Amino acid sequence: MTTNTNQPTRIFLKDYKAPSFKVQSIDLFFNLHEKETQVKAKQSIEKLEETPLVLNGEGLKLLSIRIDGIELSAADYFVTEDSLTVRTAPDYFTLETIVEINPEENKSCAGLYLSNGIFATQCEAEGFRNITYFLDRPDVMTSYTVSIEADKKKYPVLLSNGDLISKKQIGNGRHLAVWRDPFKKPSYLFALVAGDLGVVEGSFITKSGKEVKLEVYASHGKQDRCFHALLSLQKAMKWDEERFGLEYDLNQYMIVSIDDFNMGAMENKGLNIFNSRLVLADPESATDNDFMRIESVVAHEYFHNWTGNRVTCRNWFELSLKEGLTVFRDQEFSSDLHSRAVERIKNVDALRARQFAEDAGPNAHPVRPESCLAVDNFYTATIYEKGAEVIRMMYTIVGKDGFRKGMDNYFKEYDGKAVTILDFAKSIAEPNNVDFTQFKLWYSQSGTPEVNVTENYNADNKEYSLTLKQFCKPTEKEPSKEAFHIPLLIGLLDPTGNDYKLNSKDIAYNSDGKALISLKKEEETYLFTDISDKPVLSLNREFSSPIKLHWNATQAELLHIIKFDKDSFNRREACFKMILQELRSLIADYHSKKELRPNPEIIEAIGYILLDKKIDAQFKSLMLQIPGDDFIAQEEDILDAKAFQAANHSITIAFVQKYESAILELYHAHHKLDSIGDRALKNHLLFYLVEANHPSSISIAFEQFSAAKSMTDKINAIVALCHTDSEERQKALHEFLNRWKEDAVVFNKWLQVQASSRITKTFDIVKKITTTPPFNPENPNNIYSLHSVIGRNHFVMQREKEKTYAWFCDEIIRIDKINPQVAARLCSCFNFVKKFPDEIKEIAQKEIGRVLAEPNLSKNSRELLEGCI
């Protein structure tokens, strides 16, 4: 679905215009053939204003066009590369078109395509126009009836949205199924699947007593791996009823797993289509993280049924209306089902690694962008993760009950409509009597706000004052920014580690009784009285606002928080901050060619966490985590991966030397236990041992690999071994490949572990893999697992800069020709390029320039690379 034009046009939010035609209904008829599929579309249309009818359509061969049963003559209409225009249309009419498309040739995974012999569609954002001529925009909602004809033997399962109306045998070994979706929907939610698939069935009884049939489809033989997704779906349905009062509205809910898919999963009405790596799971093939991720993605797509499908986006600039809100909802779901603290920490880690980086880089944009080249490029960490943070701030301001009132209000007012982010904000504000005027700047200004902290304690009158000053770095498009409304959860710790009672007129309590200060001006001072000793500040608890907090805490203050803060997020945050500070000072030493000697106090503090028996295993593994390159790069002016690695290495060595026996002992102790937390901590300790070249690390890792019953233990052992250049590494990789080479899901793990390795041969190995089966150079998952992973492996990319960037850019060019969306994702690996050391930057930018000079480069890739040079 490439639009190959040298001068792609930018589209603007301010240019939004309501549609001039209304589509009352559409009947679609698919005559499925691998190479020549005919799509007949019959639309009942009402003209709302006097203007030609311009339909979207790309890569379609128009065979016939009729209005009210009469074939149009050449003078009545014209077709371009991406549109069909009917010059004059009656007030009410039926438009019938017949087009031909070639699903087999379509490698873009957008529109209608074949994945391993299965016909599947992907229409979000603008894929429907690759299937038929239509007003392909989310504010055109209509009801669909879909007939599918196909070879019965090859394609026994025929699915579309809504309810199955009929299914019958017709001549020639073909059969026909008819589906009708009773809910009006935008075209991006249309779906069709045809193939020979196995199915696992279940059901759910809604709170009003309706039985919903649940089905998870996957290739034959994979049914045993579908139960986790089914169970997750049932949990999600129940949760949405309990937490938001939202019930499912159709009689049937289907999930289909396919191997070629650009994204993770898609919420098509009643017929979700999933990337197989986000459906299929059993302990032998999937890790603990995979299980958690699948549960949350299944839930996410289910939650879209209300936040996205019933209430949808007016246009794609409003994407965060459904994605930010639904990410917030899936995060809440996981937090209610598992550890809230662990969920929050993991989500914030991801936010900082991806979104903060994006917001500081060449492709920074607001949650509600003002313009774009390619709509597909909107699926960013900012729209998703920052969008979810903005919702979370509203939630923090009004509290749990207040938020529920707002959500009820939102559905009451907007069910069945296509609306905007500002409509949502209004729905939450109204019943809570809050004013979001300033708050809404979070939607229109890009960049991560930074807040400086100044503290003052007066022992004589027992007063503590806190001064906060906010700023947000200007960007090219936004040279100056207005002050944000920043809600901050706060606590002050006394010397015993308890929270002081907060006496201050500046504190508000939300409906959950949490203490909150609101920074609204550029600078504000908050005064607290009756504070008997100098307190330790615990600010931005739960990471209530997505900001960078600059707080010069002493080592003693950080330790106090690590030991006592009742806010788990800030306990872990204090560890992170402490290690980050040390990394940065070591990086500075590295640059001034000093010997790297980690501060023994820091090593002892890490040891204190290691030895603390009260900290549960999973949380301990998070507290012991060393910040990664993406995170350090945001604090440093230069992303010098070699220096980062040297700093990391020196801390690890010092830690392992000092705590060798405790680490080994803990490793073995948790190895005997068998929970998610035990595995997380144990594997974390294993990485420490390997990173520090501990003499027994390789044998421990290999033993773990050989004995492992779960994928979690297997893959973590290989990850550890992959950082060594050992025989055991070879053996493990070889064995793993033999076991899984035919498995489209698990094979990706074999790719990932090698592409993330730091060893010298990594680049040569990766390059060779791309030309050796079973690597499939057209499969999105294979590319994400290999290319995207090495692309973010700055240590390897920078070390072999003469070869790596040229190869990487060749691959972008190759992939861009077949699948622009996947190519664009690779382009995002260059997010940090402007921070690379000069010599490396020059090489990388030269290669990027070469990609940009490609005459037919897609607008997707172009948009992402333009800011990189």
Binding site for Zn ion (CB under 5 A): 323, 326
Nearer to ligand BES, 252 or 380 (CB): 380
323 counts as binding ligand BES under rule CB under 6 A? yes
- H or E element, residue 229: helix 227-244
375 counts as binding ligand BES under rule CB under 6 A? no
Q: 517 near 506, Cβ under 8 Å?
A: yes
Cross-strand bridge partners of residue 215: 201, 254
Cα four-point dihedral sign 695, 699, 702, 704: negative
Nearer to ligand BES, 122 or 618 (CB): 122
Q: Which does 540 bind (CB under 5 to 8 A by kind): ligand BES, Zn ion, none?
A: none
| Cβ count within 10 A of residue 508 | 13
Cross-strand bridge partners of residue 43: 26, 95
Q: Which residue has the tokens 């592409």?
A: 755
Nearer to Zn ion, 26 or 388 (CB): 388
- H or E element, residue 93: strand 92-101
The two structure tokens encoding residue 200: 């696992």
Three-state DSSP at 149 gives strand
Nearer to ligand BES, 266 or 587 (CB): 266
Minimum distance, C-beta of residue 232 to Zn ion, in the bound complex (Å): 15
Q: 782 near 771, Cβ under 8 Å?
A: no
Minimum distance, C-beta of residue 386 to ligand BES, in the bound complex (Å): 13
DSSP 260-293: --SSSEE--TTEEEEEGGGT---TTT--HHHHHH
d(CA 460, CA 456) in angstroms, rounded, equals 12
d(CA 107, CA 120) in angstroms, rounded, equals 12
- H or E element, residue 538: strand 536-539
The two structure tokens encoding residue 48: 């709302």
Respond yes or no: is residue 301 known to be catalytic: yes
For ligand BES, which stretch binds (CB under 6 A), given 118-126, 222-230, 244-252, 407-415? 118-126
Minimum distance, C-beta of residue 754 to ligand BES, in the bound complex (Å): 23
d(CA 865, CA 852) in angstroms, rounded, equals 7
Q: What are phi and psi of 761, to 5 degrees?
A: -80, -5
Binding residue for ligand BES (CB under 6 A) from 23, 41, 118, 125?
Answer: 125
For ligand BES, which stretch binds (CB under 6 A), given 80-88, 119-127, 642-650, 771-779? 119-127
d(CA 696, CA 130) in angstroms, rounded, equals 57
d(CA 24, CA 37) in angstroms, rounded, equals 25
d(CA 229, CA 510) in angstroms, rounded, equals 36
240 counts as binding ligand BES under rule CB under 6 A? no
Among 189, 34, 187, residue whose Cα is nearest residue 104: 34
Minimum distance, C-beta of residue 609 to ligand BES, in the bound complex (Å): 31
For ligand BES, which stretch binds (CB under 6 A), given 158-166, 293-301, 359-367, 561-569? 293-301
Minimum distance, C-beta of residue 301 to ligand BES, in the bound complex (Å): 5
Nearer to Zn ion, 323 or 358 (CB): 323
Binding residue for ligand BES (CB under 6 A) from 129, 175, 225, 304?
Answer: 304
Residues within window 378-437 making contact with ligand BES, judged by CB under 6 A = 379, 384
Q: Which does 705 bind (CB under 5 to 8 A by kind): Zn ion, ligand BES, none?
A: none
Nearer to ligand BES, 301 or 573 (CB): 301
Nearer to ligand BES, 384 or 736 (CB): 384
Minimum distance, C-beta of residue 376 to ligand BES, in the bound complex (Å): 6
Nearer to ligand BES, 233 or 502 (CB): 233
Chain centroid, CA 413 distance in Å: 29
Q: Which residue has the tokens 């007030």?
A: 91
Give CA separation, 283 vs 188, 291, 661, 677, 801, in Å.
Answer: 34, 9, 31, 15, 39
d(CA 389, CA 384) in angstroms, rounded, equals 9
Cα four-point dihedral sign 646, 652, 657, 658: positive
Minimum distance, C-beta of residue 331 to ligand BES, in the bound complex (Å): 10
- H or E element, residue 750: helix 747-755
609 counts as binding ligand BES under rule CB under 6 A? no
297 counts as binding ligand BES under rule CB under 6 A? yes
Binding residue for ligand BES (CB under 6 A) from 124, 349, 630, 691?
Answer: 124
d(CA 117, CA 122) in angstroms, rounded, equals 16
Q: 254 near 314, Cβ under 8 Å?
A: no
Minimum distance, C-beta of residue 125 to ligand BES, in the bound complex (Å): 6
Minimum distance, C-beta of residue 236 to ligand BES, in the bound complex (Å): 12
Q: Which does 515 bind (CB under 5 to 8 A by kind): Zn ion, ligand BES, none?
A: none
CB crowding 435-450: b at 16 or more within 10 Å, else e: ebeebbbbbbbbbbbe
Binding letters toward ligand BES, positions 253-282, x by CB under 6 A = ----------xxxxx---------------
Minimum distance, C-beta of residue 244 to ligand BES, in the bound complex (Å): 17
d(CA 849, CA 187) in angstroms, rounded, equals 36
Nearer to Zn ion, 380 or 650 (CB): 380
Nearer to Zn ion, 260 or 385 (CB): 385
Nearer to Zn ion, 414 or 464 (CB): 414
Minimum distance, C-beta of residue 153 to Zn ion, in the bound complex (Å): 35
HSE at residue 384, side-chain half, CA atoms within 13 A, is: 17
300 counts as binding ligand BES under rule CB under 6 A? yes
806 counts as binding ligand BES under rule CB under 6 A? no
For ligand BES, which stretch binds (CB under 6 A), given 280-288, 294-302, 635-643, 653-661? 294-302
User: Which residue's Cβ has the minimum distance to ligand BES?
Assistant: 264
Cα four-point dihedral sign 333, 337, 341, 346: negative
d(CA 305, CA 295) in angstroms, rounded, equals 16
301 counts as binding ligand BES under rule CB under 6 A? yes
In 152-258, the DSSP E strands lie at 157-160, 163-169, 174-186, 192-195, 198-205, 211-218, 252-258
Q: 627 near 580, Cβ under 8 Å?
A: yes
Nearer to ligand BES, 254 or 609 (CB): 254
Minimum distance, C-beta of residue 84 to Zn ion, in the bound complex (Å): 30
DSSP 814-857: HHHHH-HHHHHHHHGGGTTGGGS-HHHHHHHHHHHHHHHT-TT-
Of the listed 295, 301, 358, 389, which one is catalytic?
A: 301
Q: 30 near 386, Cβ under 8 Å?
A: no
Nearer to Zn ion, 190 or 775 (CB): 190
Three-state DSSP at 863 gives helix
Minimum distance, C-beta of residue 585 to ligand BES, in the bound complex (Å): 37
Active site residues: 301
- Binding footprint of ligand BES on the chain (CB under 6 A): 122, 124-125, 263-267, 297, 300-301, 304, 323, 327, 330, 379, 384
